[in-house]
Amino acid sequence: MTNVKDYGAAGDGSTDDTSAIQAALTAADAAHDFVYFPPGVYIVNHTLALSGHSSAIHGAGAKRTSTPNGGAPQGTVIKAINQTGPVLDFTGFKFPDSHRGRITFGGFAVQGDGASDATKAHSGISIPIGESANFTDIAIEQTGGPGLDIGRVYLSDFNRITIVTPVDASANDVPYLRATATNGCRFIGVGLRSMTPVGNTTTADVGATGALVVQESASYEPERNLWLGCWAENLHVPSGGTIVLHRGGDNVIDSFQFFDCGKVSGATGTAYFRFQAPAVNGTNGGNQLRGVIPGLNTSATAIDVGVDMQHSRNSVFGVKGYKGGNVRLASGVEYVTVLLTGSESQATTNTAPAVIDNSGMLTNTVIDLMAGLFQLPQAATFRLGADTTVQRAGVGTVNVGRLAVTNAASASALGTVVRKIQVFDAAGTSLGYLPVVSESS
C-alpha cells in the first residue's frame, strides 16, 4: 500500500495535493502497489491526469467528510479546483492486458469545482478507453460535465456508484452518466440523484437528452451490457425529455427503480425510458427491458409514458406500474415484443391503455394479461399438443381475424361451419360443441 500522505498530501481541503498524489502514483507503479487515500479532502488543481500510470486507487469510503462539531473526516474526497477537464482523467491509463486479472478503484467521492460547463468536458471521472476494471463505492457531485463519462470500455464493472445532478444539467443538457460504445460491461446499483426538493414542479434537473445516456460512437454501438438494479431519485424531466436514453443493441436493463421522479409543470412528451436506433448498426435491436414498467399516475406532473419505444426488434417484459401509459410504440417500429404480466393495485382502473401502439405495423407482439389483450403478428401460428382442452367462461363471440368462435348463435347465422371445438366445465363434463365458422361479409 502506497499512502499519499507519505508523499506529502495534506488532505485538509485547502492544500493543493496534486503533486503529492502524482508522486504517490509513480511510486506505486514502480512497486506494483495500490495508492491509498486516508480520510480527508484532497485538492487537485485542474485535473488528476492518470496517463501512463497502472496503480489502483483506494479510499476510506465515499462517506461524509466530517462529523458534527468539527470531528475528524470519515471518508475520502478528491476535489478539483479551477477545473479545465475531468477531475480524474483515465486517458492513457495502463489497464490490465488481455483481461488477465482485474484492477479495482473505489471507496472515495469525487467533487468538481461546482462551475457550469456548456462544453460538458468538466466531468467527474472520464474513461475514454479501458478494460478489465472494477469501479465500486464511488460518489460524484458538483461537476459541470457528466459525473461519469465512459467511452469504449470493455468487460468492466461499475457497482454502487451514486451521481448527483451536474451543475446546470438542464440548461446545458448534461447527462449524469454517459456511456458511449461500452461493450460487455455490468452496471449494478448505479444511482442518479437530484437534490432538488421533492415538491418541486418548476425546475428541471435533467437535460432533454436524458440523465442516463447510453449511446453509440462514430464506429461502435454499445452492446452486450447489463444494467441491473440501477435507480433514479427525485429527478424532474423537461418537455421532450427522458430519464434514460438508450441507443444500442443486445443490452439488458433489469429492475431499474424510480423514486419520486416526475416532469416539470406543463411539460409534454416525457418518458422514463426512450429507445432509439443508433446511427451504427441501427437495425440490430435485441435489447431487453425487464422489471416494473412505470407509467402514468394521478399527478399533473406525472411523466407521460414509461417506455417510448422508437427502436425496432426489442422486448419489454414486466409488471404494469401505475395507471396505464406503460409502453408506446412509435410509428414504423416493428418486431417488438411487449409482455405485461400483472399490475400494481392502482393500475386496475387505468387512465390510459397500458400499451399505446402507434406503430401501424403488423409485426409486433403485445400481450397484456390483466387486460386480456393478445395482439399477435400477422400470420402467427399456434401449435397445440394432442388432447388440448380450451375452456371459456360465459357466452359470447370471440373474433380472431376472419374466423369467429361462438356459443351464442347458430352456425347458419354467421356462415359455414369449418370446424367445431368441444367445451368442458371445470369438472370435465362436456358442455357440447362450439362451431367455428367463416365470418360472413
pLDDT in tens, the chain (441 residues): 999 999 999 999 999 999 999 999 999 999 999 999 999 999 999 899 999 999 999 999 997 655 554 556 689 999 999 999 999 999 999 999 766 789 999 999 999 999 999 999 999 999 999 999 999 999 999 999 999 999 999 999 999 999 999 999 999 999 999 999 999 999 999 999 998 876 778 899 999 999 999 999 999 999 999 999 999 999 999 999 999 999 999 999 999 999 999 999 999 999 999 999 999 887 789 999 999 999 988 788 999 999 999 999 999 999 988 778 999 999 999 999 999 987 765 545 556 789 999 999 999 999 998 888 888 887 777 666 666 665 555 555 444 444 444 444 444 444 555 566 666 676 777 777 766 655 544
Q: Domain limits of the chain?
A: 1-153, 169-381, 397-438
Give dist(CA 245, CA 285) in Å, integer.
14
The helix (H) or strand (E) run that includes residue 414 is helix 411-414
Q: Which CATH superfamily is domain 1-153 in?
A: Single-stranded right-handed beta-helix, Pectin lyase-like (2.160.20.10)
Rounded CA separation 181/274 (Å): 17
At a CB cut-off of 8 Å and minimum separation 6, what does 276 contact?
A: 245, 246, 247, 310, 311
Q: What is the pTM of this model?
A: 0.87
What are the C-alpha distances in Å from 292 to residues 319, 344, 360, 365? Answer: 5, 9, 26, 19
Distance CA 348, CA 317 (A): 18
Is residue 159 within 8 Å of residue 181, measured between CB atoms? no
* Percentage helix, strand, coil for the chain under 3-state DSSP, each rounded to 5: 5, 40, 55
Neighbours of 108 (CB within 10 A): 23
Q: What is the pLDDT of residue 403?
A: 42
> Which amino acid type is present at position 112?
G
- Would you state the pLDDT for residue 429? 79
Question: Which residues have CB under 8 Å from 127's CB, separation 6+?
Answer: 90, 93, 133, 149, 150, 151, 153
**Cα–Cα distance between 315 and 309 in angstroms, integer?**
10
Q: Which three cell numbers stand for residue 2?
A: 502506497
d(CA 282, CA 216): 10
Helix (H, G, I), strand (E, B) or coil at 300: coil
List Cβ neighbours of 383 (8 Å cut-off, separation of 6 or more): none
Residue-level pLDDT at 391: 57
pLDDT at 411: 43
Q: Count of residues for the chain?
A: 441
Burial 272-287 (b: 16+ CB within 10 A, else e): bbbbbbbebebebbeb
Q: From residue 35, how far is each of 28, 104, 397 by CA, in Å?
A: 6, 11, 73
CB atoms within 10 A of CB 335: 15
Are 356 and 366 contacting, i.e. CB atoms less than 8 angstroms apart? no
Let me know: does 302 contact 262? Beta carbons within 8 Å: yes
